[in-house]
Amino acid sequence: MKYSTLPKPPKNSTQIARVLRNNMTEPEWKLWGHIRRKQLGVKFKRQVPIGNYIVDFFALKIGLVIEVDGSQHLTEKGAQKDKIRSEFLEKYGIKIIRYTNLDIFENINGVLENINYTINKLKP
């Protein structure tokens, strides 16, 4: 599937994404160390603007977004925002998988196995 029809991000989102890339959280850095440079067979970019959102990691070729969620995502308000964001991305054929900071710190191997499984399901 081609994702050329993704909505254009607002003009300032590139600068915001750059700031986020330079200030990634510790769990984001830990995961990035395992998924960068096509280590799982697909290229991921980090802090990618899509429409009004900036996703943590995006593999454009297979339409996969990986989100690393901190404690703010565990609140009712955070969960509702995530639901709206996920519905928006899914409307464009994008698959989203989420992991908590705790998942990354305590079970990185399980997280990587799950990501690899999802990649294999999405590959043409």
Alpha-carbon distance of 102 to 111, in angstroms, equals 11
* Number of neighbours of residue 90 by Cβ within 10 angstroms: 13
Instruction: Classify residue 31: in a domain, yes or no.
Output: yes
Res 72: pLDDT: 67
Instruction: Classify residue 2: in a domain, yes or no.
Output: no
Position 1 confidence tier, pLDDT thresholds 50, 70, 90: very low
pLDDT at 75 over 80: no
Alpha-carbon distance of 95 to 92, in angstroms, equals 9
Q: Strands across the sheet with 45-50, in order? A: 45-50, 53-59, 64-69, 95-100
Domain count, the chain: 1
pLDDT at 19 over 50: yes
For the chain, helix (H) and strand (E) counts, in that order, are: 5, 4
Nearest to 54 by CA among 42, 72, 34, 68: 68
pLDDT at 34 over 50: yes
Position 71 confidence tier, pLDDT thresholds 50, 70, 90: low
Range of the domain at 82: 13-119
